[in-house]
A and B are shown apart, each in its own frame.
Chain A
Amino acid sequence: MNLFNLLIDHINQIGAIALFIIGLYTVITHNHLIKRVFGINIMGTAVFLFFVSIGYVKEGVVPIYGNEEAVYVNPLPSVLILTGIVVVVSITVYALGLVVKIYEGYGTLDQVEISEKMSEAMRDD
């Protein structure tokens, strides 16, 4: 029962770590380039979830000044993560742009095939 309560209390952190591992696994094991971009996005979401959940206070309210009785949620992590989201979006856009160009050049999105074609080109030099 104790373990169960522990799990329930830290469900956001456990979820974040699980997502992080799923993302990392996707990036490392998949050869498909777009799936790698997905993996990065999942990893990013995991970190953001973790960061935001640090600032959460049980039964806290939105930190708008005026409601003096209430307990506020810590706004700083949310503010920081807004920046983080923007950054990951721009990374995704750039990565997808590169994927389009790679597909135009090699005609495939599979990392293994691309590596083979690259090493062939190097041998020809």
Chain B
Amino acid sequence: MIEQIPLINLLILVTTALFMPLIRKFDFRYTKVLGLVSFLAVFILSIISFYDVYTNGMFYYHLGGHAPFIGIEFRIDAFSSFFTLFIGFMMLLYYIYAVRYMFHEIKGKQHNRYYTIVFLLVFASFGLIYTNDLFNTYVFIEIMSITACAIISIVRKKQNYSAAFRYLVLNEIGSLSYLFGVALIYMITGYTNIELVAQALEEGYLLYPANVFIAMAFMVVGLSIKAAIFPLHIWLPDAHSTAPIPSHAILSAVVLKVNLIVLIKLLYRVFGVQILLDLHMNTVLIVLGILSMIMGSFFALAQKDIKRILAYSSVAQVGYIVLGIGFLTELGLYAGLFHIVSHGIMKSTLFLSAGMIIYHTGVRNTKKYQGFVHILPITITLMSIATLSMIGIPGTSGFISKFNLAMASLDENMGYIIIFIVLSGLLNAMYYLPMIITSILDNHESNMMHYEVDKIPKTMLIPVMVLGALILVIGFYPQSITFFIEAATDALIGGV
């Protein structure tokens, strides 16, 4: 039973997606309950799966019982089970939030369509994390790119269509480059299974170094487009800022992160550290990471719209993760994986609290936040916690991320990277703090009359409060999640 959990998870998600449009004739209550039950089930099953992997060790699941070199193989280890658990948890919170919020953006029967797409997206991201097969990864990536565009174009505005089209085109260039890389690897090794490929590449790299190099270039560039690493991030601001808030949170905390996880799997499992060092991939990744960190923050400085600020800030935060991966050491990978979790949590807090402000007042311009602390006290408090965490104040999860990255760079004798980390933190402060200062200190009497604020719906408030509390818990007791991340790092580095 326990070894079937990955498949059961995928089946739950895909059947829920199927049932969503079928029940749209009935009351919206049923839709709510169905979605909640299936996300809860997925979350609980992921916990059980993680616990099982922790006690009994990792295992492989062969779909249909076919041998790995002809069939599809799932690898369930600490890495995949932890990240499915993480995504399951985040999606549960987003879903609770979205059920109420989406009434603000779309109407009527479109809700069921929206949740169909969301469930398919989560299905694809679970598949991407579980799968141990390069071609299967391509199929899931394509499902994810269509659904990721569709959650933007669900809002029927022309700028959404335009942003979704641009995103789709660039996504597609990325997927096809990835597939080209798979073709080149298949040409050398004759396998698509990740572990068989890795074994065959040890020898194949000596025989055909050019092929391996071109394959890696295609795949890394393809995935960099999808993960919005600096020079290839151009689609991100439009796509993310036109999306409705729950979609924005999903795009940033799930879609970007899953693409980075695929990149990590590709680099560490398929090619392996030795080949990467030989081709100087560490320098490339570190430079790209630093550029993303600095440039993303620079672009964000010029923005006034909260959603565009958050979108550019995602580019900067992806930079941290790429920097961590780029060290190609255990400490670096640990810092990267930690930041995936920590950024997911603190960014979601920011998105969802910004969403509450938009829901109640409709204001997106951060200059008009004057005196909002009197109108929406809890929201602004949570937003301040998340902001301090983004800057990296001690006592928040953002500080621990930066600390880990600094330790990793000292370990590699590249202490000067800390300058860039601090600089990026300062830039973060420059565009996040004014927003908080305006809302707390700039008391604009007329604003308080201007906005009629009803009571904040509990279903929107609770997910954000959980996330805000998690930031502080991780900040003060990083041990609470280091155990998970260490297990995931071991599974990646020690597994091959």
**Bound-complex Cα distance A76 to B142 (A):** 20
Chain B residues lying within 8 Å of A77, measured Cβ to Cβ, are 186
Within the complex, what minimum Cβ distance (angstroms) separates A74 from chain B? Answer: 8
> Which residues of chain A in 102-118 are interfacial with respect to chain B, using CB atoms and an 8 Å cutoff?
102, 104-106, 114, 118
Query: Is B38 among interface residues, defined by CB-CB distance under 8 A?
Result: no
**Bound-complex Cα distance A121 to B159 (A):** 9
> Which residues of chain A in 6-52 are interfacial with respect to chain B, using CB atoms and an 8 Å cutoff?
20, 24, 27, 33, 36-37, 40, 43-44, 47, 50-51
Q: Quick one: closest A residue to B134, CB to CB? A: A80
By the criterion CB–CB under 8 Å, are B180 and A47 in contact?
Answer: yes
By the criterion CB–CB under 8 Å, are B187 and A54 in contact?
Answer: yes
By the criterion CB–CB under 8 Å, are B142 and A98 in contact?
Answer: no
Report B136-166 CB contacts with A as 1/0, cut-off 8 Å. 0011001001100110010001110110110
Query: Is B169 among interface residues, defined by CB-CB distance under 8 A?
Result: yes
Query: Is B173 among interface residues, defined by CB-CB distance under 8 A?
Result: yes
Chain B residues lying within 8 Å of A94, measured Cβ to Cβ, are 146, 149-150, 168
**Bound-complex Cα distance A20 to B161 (A):** 27
By the criterion CB–CB under 8 Å, are A102 and B161 in contact?
Answer: yes
Within the complex, what minimum Cβ distance (angstroms) separates B80 from chain A? Answer: 22
Interface of A is mostly: helix
By the criterion CB–CB under 8 Å, are B168 and A91 in contact?
Answer: yes
Other-chain residue from A40, A50, A80, A83 in contact with B172 (beta carbon distance below 8 A): A40
By the criterion CB–CB under 8 Å, are B187 and A76 in contact?
Answer: no
By the criterion CB–CB under 8 Å, are A47 and B183 in contact?
Answer: yes
By the criterion CB–CB under 8 Å, are A87 and B158 in contact?
Answer: no
Query: Is B176 among interface residues, defined by CB-CB distance under 8 A?
Result: yes
Given contacts A20-B180, A94-B146, A98-B164, contact A36 B139 (CB under 8 A): no
**Bound-complex Cα distance A54 to B211 (A):** 13
Q: Quick one: closest A residue to B150, CB to CB? A: A94
By the criterion CB–CB under 8 Å, are B173 and A27 in contact?
Answer: yes
By the criterion CB–CB under 8 Å, are B183 and A90 in contact?
Answer: no
Within the complex, what minimum Cβ distance (angstroms) separates B490 from chain A? Answer: 32
Query: Is A73 among interface residues, defined by CB-CB distance under 8 A?
Result: no
Within the complex, what minimum Cβ distance (angstroms) separates B73 from chain A? Answer: 15
Most A-side CB within 10 Å, residue of B70, B187, B365: B187
Most B-side CB within 10 Å, residue of A20, A51, A99: A51
**Bound-complex Cα distance A100 to B365 (A):** 31
Query: Is B293 among interface residues, defined by CB-CB distance under 8 A?
Result: no
Within the complex, what minimum Cβ distance (angstroms) separates A27 from chain B? Answer: 6
Within the complex, what minimum Cβ distance (angstroms) separates A118 from chain B? Answer: 6
Other-chain residue from A76, A102, A121 in contact with B165 (beta carbon distance below 8 A): A102
**Bound-complex Cα distance A99 to B164 (A):** 10
Number of A-B contacts (CB under 8 A): 80
Chain A residues lying within 8 Å of B139, measured Cβ to Cβ, are 83, 87
Chain B residues lying within 8 Å of A84, measured Cβ to Cβ, are 138, 179
By the criterion CB–CB under 8 Å, are A87 and B70 in contact?
Answer: no
By the criterion CB–CB under 8 Å, are A43 and B187 in contact?
Answer: no
Other-chain residue from A27, A51, A80, A105 in contact with B161 (beta carbon distance below 8 A): A105
Chain A residues lying within 8 Å of B149, measured Cβ to Cβ, are 94, 98
By the criterion CB–CB under 8 Å, are A106 and B158 in contact?
Answer: yes
Query: Is B82 among interface residues, defined by CB-CB distance under 8 A?
Result: no
By the criterion CB–CB under 8 Å, are B165 and A51 in contact?
Answer: no
By the criterion CB–CB under 8 Å, are B165 and A50 in contact?
Answer: no
Given contacts A44-B176, A102-B158, contact A91 B183 (CB under 8 A): no
By the criterion CB–CB under 8 Å, are B142 and A87 in contact?
Answer: yes
Within the complex, what minimum Cβ distance (angstroms) separates A17 from chain B? Answer: 9
Within the complex, what minimum Cβ distance (angstroms) separates A116 from chain B? Answer: 12
**Bound-complex Cα distance A104 to B162 (A):** 11
**Bound-complex Cα distance A91 to B187 (A):** 26
Q: Quick one: closest A residue to B158, CB to CB? A: A105
Other-chain residue from B138, B150, B162, B173 in contact with A102 (beta carbon distance below 8 A): B162
**Bound-complex Cα distance A86 to B267 (A):** 28
**Bound-complex Cα distance A106 to B159 (A):** 9
Given contacts A91-B142, A94-B149, A105-B158, contact A36 B169 (CB under 8 A): yes
Q: Quick one: closest B residue to A121, CB to CB? A: B159
By the criterion CB–CB under 8 Å, are A50 and B183 in contact?
Answer: yes
Chain A residues lying within 8 Å of B145, measured Cβ to Cβ, are 91
Chain B residues lying within 8 Å of A40, measured Cβ to Cβ, are 169, 172-173, 176
By the criterion CB–CB under 8 Å, are A114 and B162 in contact?
Answer: yes
Report A51-90 CB contacts with B as 1/0, cut-off 8 Å. 1001000000000000000000000110010011001001
**Bound-complex Cα distance A20 to B184 (A):** 14
By the criterion CB–CB under 8 Å, are B176 and A47 in contact?
Answer: yes
Given contacts A20-B180, A40-B172, A47-B179, contact A98 B187 (CB under 8 A): no
Given contacts A24-B173, A95-B168, contact A51 B162 (CB under 8 A): no
Most B-side CB within 10 Å, residue of A37, A54, A80, A83: A80
Pairs A–B under 8 Å by Cβ, sample size 23: A24-B173, A27-B173, A43-B172, A43-B173, A47-B180, A51-B179, A54-B187, A80-B135, A83-B139, A84-B138, A87-B142, A90-B146, A91-B168, A91-B172, A94-B150, A94-B168, A95-B168, A95-B172, A99-B165, A101-B158, A105-B157, A118-B159, A118-B162
- List chain A positions with a Cβ less than 8 A from chain B: 20, 24, 27, 33, 36-37, 40, 43-44, 47, 50-51, 54, 76-77, 80, 83-84, 87, 90-91, 94-95, 98-99, 101-102, 104-106, 114, 118, 121, 125
Other A-B pairs beyond A47-B180, A94-B168, A98-B153, 7, CB < 8 Å: A40-B169, A51-B183, A54-B183, A91-B145, A91-B168, A114-B162, A118-B238
